[in-house]
Structure 1
């Protein structure tokens, strides 16, 4: 059965919640104009050689029971790994409702855009006949994905205008199949690159240069390798204000694009605020310049609002955050306000929305993109990295840290506040929803009983309402997969809010995040929380000016709240769904769970001796130095244990009986690495692809690794290193997460990292702790500990054959809102039947064994 909420309808909910549709529509005007200038054939990257003006499209209907994690898509499957061609009138699909859909002709409008309501969610088929083999750049926008001569590539669904894909054209017909996104328009053209390797200024990441700060500045620019060979041993030379910085850049695979870091010279103390120009050179052997670019950059006072950059520990990419520094220059022991933005909002605009405060600094992270990850998954990690950077730079009072945000950032405030309750003295969600899936359920319930006027105001059509009424039927397999998403179920962690003061701000007439969402949350808090303020701004819509975020009563509440010193805490509740996401509150750390990714909790009280009630905890750490108790006894659940008054102790739960013991081995699960599968994509991850298989296997595993790197670039402003298995040495990448593409027969890195793991994959065969599954149709994702490291993990994207390789291309593990446990085994039927094609899913035990884990089989 097809079990989960339809991915496109869920995407609509995200857009509706965040107000992103209108914002992206404003931005796309420049792109339409750019494509429409047919007389101008030259672009900075080369010459436009072809603009696609005719196509055929295939309508696709929403299926309310489709899975966001495992979407069914027969059209995608038909074009994958083939050179299939289609023509007008040809039957393309019989959809889930039994309706026959045919390929239909469509032409571009005056702006060279395929633009029609019927395109939303449809496939668009383009073809180009080349007289010879050639290399071009494929530029398109408005699409969620592209399949080019059978190879999938990431799309440009936010209309950023960033998409430039090097393509090896074959002589004859070349096929480009684009999946249209939420906007009913698609544009596409081919560009002959001006050179095999070049720079593009599209999507640069740059800091502001700050007068008087003698620091190492870093920026990032994309390098296009439009050649069939690796690009190695090159540098970027940055020249500014008479100074030069030279940066080595990493190797870039054939026919790919990577955003690379470079150093920027500092500015002198006598510089003046201005817009400046920096020259970048891409330099080869003997200092030969391959490309030059003039880059605009700002010089600012550190006391004015500005951007800063840093190196992310997720993937070594350059990320930026924006600051509204305190109006009190050289403020000491001040406050820090982490402000998380809404969808389509740049972090720089988030900081600009605030007046500078005399008692603290506003720091605004990016969520890795204006849309990003809704402050979950890698958006969550970005927020934590920026919080750490803000603390390092501004040295705030550790008890005066606060969290706020608007719209999607309001959700981020609810989510981050519940996930990390001890990091913030108070939170202030503005126009936010607490939980995406919880919002969906609440929204659907309200929509089904709403008036026609309300539905019209919310933008809900009769067809959408019909989709909402379809209820999913969940199996044991679905529940196992959904369990991996528990860290994102904010309301399951709601009692963590007891550690914070809360100010809820919402517009009285908000029609983007409807006001009833805030009222429901007020009711939830009212049942257990005594320290929150709720305010509806009279007549306020979703955005009613700067007071939508920069509302003085919020900061008045903040000023009256402080994070308590650990030793003063008499009572505390703490909940988590995963020690790998959130393990610690003050002096207590949940090291291991009994049931992976179910909710774990402690209820601590030392008003009359130390008492702790727990749920779903296998190992608990207490820092007695921080807790400062004179008690010699500790009551935990029904057991009483003798404790010392200093140091850290580890409490172990064995079949319901507690005892003190040693700290678990770092080789076991814990906060440092815990799963599920998506957790492998961090910690300076490296993608290692197979080269020891057949020509087809090698080609497709390389393309899958490149596709994931493209996806992480687009979704997360990322920069991932790709390495061939024959060039991989564990010693060269110590303590870094490794993602393996391939199996033990075709990826020579397998035995270096996974030889003794209980999951083994080779051609036509999978072994799960001795249980064998045979055939070439199986795909597999799993996470494992890296045995030569106490902290790093190995993520595996593997298949048993050609059909299994098709299966691994269809899922969305780099998208927030998706759920993947430690291991998933599925057949190539995944694109036809969704989760019914999952053979096995579950979690390894705390010792990473299959035997002590929890798994569901179909």
Structure 2
């Protein structure tokens, strides 16, 4: 420990050469270190902090705490924890920046969980999620969307309810779709998903950045939903407090006896009863239940009762419910399952099955063999717009258009600056000739009159019609201005398992406004006035989501 080494790093590419001397220090047992992993999204390398248990044994069985940093905070929260003998503390870097922990920020946390658990002796039933401020929001969001992954969560000094933000946007003309998107990102709407995942919430009473009322409100909502929650309000404390000192506990607002004791007493246990709130197929699994909404948001309450009886107590807006029989066998399920839904009953032999899909619309029945024709919002193409950036993607621009190339370069720079990511540019003709939609989501710059690839897929994007530089029809409604632009996402007609996104429009003016499109606020589509976008609320003309059939 403490030994130093120097490494000469030489980078050569395209006639460019640079030499850098890296000074390295060998860390000791139990010391904090910074490691890297390779993102499957775009092949970029990102760092994370890791503090192992003191005297960790390779064949041991340790807990794992993932702690998410706040906006402009310490890049690796793991470094702010004290010395533990029972868990690894991991601090994601938000892709070496400030990416909120939804969309690709959420993907990073899930990738990192799998990466660390595959490299270190981690007990998957003792994985915990915490975070402070923006990181606390991340703990809320990821916690309600993936409650089955965690033994407990601990959001600290944070907001878990975005209802007021959504309400303010809902009152602005054209911004209703953005308000709906915020509700999709609003953890408070999915509080029931935590019914089997204990929660510790902490906040300083004198917080001058995130008001303490934010935690008080969501704690009240959790208690109303029957969630096990401990709330600790620290009198007189502001947004952060304490200092890092040698010993068992670190920065007081993140790591103190009450928080560690709460986490340590909980291990992940598969519940017999699952309550799930689901609004998208990409977040359809809650413990051993997978829900497919018929429309809007589905709410289900399912219990494995005694005697091999599966009782569906509630099913609002739920077209199908699928249960993981492997998980139910851990709870004692035998060879036969008796399904009860209201006055209906179904007996099913489950021997040799891994899953059982039940159709609820039109009466209780098995869902196997039920035709699902045409486009549906199903994984891997569910929307919203930002989901196109959650898997490998390319930026496609038309040859011969300097404006489109410059806009494509902006998207590339935006991805690097915002997500620390790598994005490759190709021309429209290259994309068509190489059939790049087979392996990538494609972000097209320019509409059909400018971009050959957009022209090729235009007829398959049934919900949108480009009507020239001054008009577009979305979901049958014609929108006309002196100039209009769009940002949209849709299953690629040439490969419906991948996305095609279009940014810009049919005029250079619409394309030149691409740098002002707020990509992270686009639901499935946004229509904008390029003269006003980014300068006035009226720059956004219309926003929204396509329906379940992408119409």
- In the alignment, which residue of structure 2 is the partner of 1:491? 188
Corresponding residue for 1:513?
210
Q: Deviations over 1:381-422 (max 9, x none)?
A: 221221121212124112111011222222222222122111
- Once the two structures are TM-superposed, the CA of residue 689 in structure 1 deviates from its matched residue by 0.8
Q: 2:499 matched to which residue of 1? A: 793
Residue 484 (structure 1) shift: 2.3
In the alignment, what sits opposite 1:482?
179
Distance 2:363 2:513 in 1: 42
CA separation in 2, counterparts of 1:403 and 1:733? 36
In structure 1, the residue matched to 2:246 is none
Q: 2:301 aligns with which of 589, 603, 609?
A: 603
CA distance in 2: counterparts of 1:768 and 1:517, whole angstroms? 37
What is the alpha-carbon distance in structure 1 between the residues aligned to residue 85 and residue 373 of structure 2? 47
- 1:777 corresponds to 2:480: no
> Shift of residue 344 of structure 1?
1.2
- Who is 2:384 aligned against? 676
Aligned CA-pair RMSD: 3.2
| Aligned with residue 573 of structure 1, among 267, 270, 275 | 275
Of 534, 554, 571, which aligns to 2:259? 554
Is 2:53 the counterpart of 1:345?
no
User: What is the alpha-carbon distance in structure 2 between the residues aligned to residue 475 and residue 537 of structure 1?
Assistant: 38
The corresponding residue for 1:392 is 118
Shift of 1:433: 2.0
The match for 2:405 is: 702
Q: TM-score, normalised by structure 2?
A: 0.86
Residue of structure 1 equivalent to 2:317: 616
Worse-matched range after superposition: 327-336 or 823-832:
823-832
Structure 1 residue aligned with 2:354, among 643, 647, 653? Answer: 647
Q: Is the 8 A contact 1:583 1:671 kept in 2?
A: no
Q: Is the 8 A contact 1:776 1:804 kept in 2?
A: no
Secondary structure of 1:714's partner? helix
Secondary structure of the residue that 1:357 maps to in structure 2? coil
Please say which structure displays the higher CA radius of gyration. 1
CA deviation map 1:756-814 (0-9, x unaligned)? 33235374464657876677722122212234546421111131223433554432114
**Partner residue of 2:130?**
404
Structure 1 residues 831 and 771: alpha-carbon distance in aligned structure 2, compared to 1, 3 A threshold: closer
Alignment-derived partner of residue 717 in structure 1? 420
Q: Contact conserved, 1:743 with 1:762, CA < 8 A, in 2?
A: no
The answer to whether the 8 Å contact 2:191/2:225 transfers is no
In 2, the alpha carbon distance for the partners of 1:834 and 1:658 equals 52
The separation in 1 between residues aligned to 2:360 and 2:485, in whole angstroms, is 36
Asked if structure 2 preserves the Cα contact closer than 8 Å seen for 1:328 and 1:359, the reply is no
Paired with 1:640 and 1:478, the residues of 2 have a C-alpha distance of: 45
Q: Hey, what does 1:685 align to over in structure 2? A: 393
1:314 pairs with 2:41: yes
Relative to 1, partners in 2 of residues 1:783 and 1:641: Cα closer, same or farther, differing over 3 Å?
farther
State the SS of the aligned residue for 1:722.
strand
1:593–1:618 Cα contact (<8 Å) kept: yes
Distance (whole Å) between structure 2 residues aligned to residue 513 and residue 768 of structure 1: 38
- CA distance in 2: counterparts of 1:637 and 1:735, whole angstroms: 45
C-alpha spacing 1:615/1:833, structure 2 compared with 1 (3 Å): farther
Contact 2:175-2:542 at 8 Å conserved across structures:
no
Classify the secondary structure of the residue corresponding to 1:618.
Answer: strand
CA shift digits 1:435-482 (9 cap, x unpaired): 3555898xxxxxxxxxxxxxxxxxxxxxxxxxxxxx777268543442
CA distance in 2, matches of 1:472, 1:824: 14
Where does the alignment leave 5 or more consecutive residues of structure 1 unmatched? 1-210, 212-271, 442-470, 693-697, 851-858
In 1, the alpha carbon distance for the partners of 2:124 and 2:288 equals: 15
Instruction: Say if 1:810 and 1:318 are closer, same or farther in 2 by CA, change over 3 A.
Output: same
The number of residues matched between the two structures is 528
Partner Cα separation in structure 2 for residue 440 and residue 839 of structure 1? 17
Give SS of 1:347's match.
coil
CA gap 1:370/1:436 in 2 versus in 1, 3 angstroms = farther
After superposition, the Cα gap between the structure-2 partners of 1:601 and 1:683, relative to the gap in structure 1 and judged at 3 Å, is same
CA distance in 2, matches of 1:292, 1:808: 34
Q: Write the distance in 2 (CA, Å) between the matches of 1:393 and 1:700.
A: 46
Q: Distance in 1 between matches of 2:95 and 2:343?
A: 46
Conservation of the 8 A alpha-carbon contact between 1:313 and 1:682: no
- Alignment match of 1:282 (pick from 2, 6, 12): 12
Residues 15-39 of structure 1: CA deviation (Å, up to 9, x unaligned)? xxxxxxxxxxxxxxxxxxxxxxxxx
| Aligned pair partner of 1:500 in 165, 190, 197 | 197
Answer whether contact 1:778 1:807 (CA < 8 A) is retained: no
Is 1:634 aligned to residue 364 of structure 2?
A: no
Q: Which of 142, 145, 160 is the matching residue for 1:419?
A: 145
TM-score when normalising by structure 1? 0.57
SS for the counterpart of 1:327 is: coil
User: Matches of residues 135-154 of structure 1 in structure 2 within 5 Å?
Assistant: none
**In structure 2, what is the Cα distance between the partners aligned to 1:527 and 1:771?**
41
- Structure 2: distance between partners of 1:589 and 1:320: 33
Residue 300 of structure 1 is matched in structure 2 by 26
CA contact (8 A) 2:278 2:293 kept: no
CA distance in 2, matches of 1:381, 1:292: 33
Within a 5 Å distance, the mapping from 1:149-160 to structure 2 comes to none
Q: Is this contact kept in 2: 1:666–1:790, CA < 8 A?
A: no
Change (3 A) 1:297 1:753: farther
**8 Å CA contact retained: 2:288, 2:324:** yes
Secondary structure of 1:335's partner?
strand
Structure 1 counterpart of 2:294: 594
CA contact (8 A) 1:780 1:808 kept: no
Shift of 1:434: 1.5
Change (3 A) 1:301 1:538: same
Distance 1:847 1:436, change over 3 A: closer
Distance 1:315 1:370 in 2: 16
Cα distance in 2, alignment partners of residues 666 and 299 from structure 1 = 57
Distance in structure 2 (CA, Å) of the matches to 1:747 and 1:734: 19
Quote the Cα distance in structure 2 between the aligned partners of 1:732 and 1:675.
20
Instruction: Give distance in 2, aligned partners of 1:726 and 1:299.
Output: 49
Q: How far 1:295 sits from its partner (Å)?
A: 3.6
Q: In structure 2, the residue corresponding to 1:526 is in which secondary structure?
A: helix
Retained in 2: the 8 A contact 1:777–1:801?
yes
Aligned to 1:130: none
**Could you say which residue in structure 2 is the equivalent of 1:761?**
466
Q: Mark the CA change 1:662 to 1:322 in structure 2 (over 3 Å): closer, same or farther.
A: farther
765-774 or 421-430: which moved more?
Answer: 765-774
Q: Which moved more, 1:504-513 or 1:547-556?
A: 504-513
Partner of 1:544: 242
Q: Which runs of 5+ in 2 are unaligned?
A: 244-250
**TM-aligned CA distance change 1:404 to 1:772, over 3 Å:** closer
Aligned to 1:563: 268
Shift of 1:618: 2.9
Q: CA deviation at 1:677?
A: 1.8
- In the alignment, is the contact (CA less than 8 A) between 1:673 and 1:791 conserved in 2? yes
Separation in structure 2 between the aligned mates of residue 803 and residue 652 of structure 1, nearest angstrom: 49
| CA apart distance, 1:539 | 4.1
Which residues of 2 match residues 53-452 of structure 1 at below 5 A? 273-274=3-4, 276-284=6-14, 290-301=16-27, 303=29, 304-331=31-58, 332-348=60-76, 350-373=77-100, 375-436=101-162, 438=164
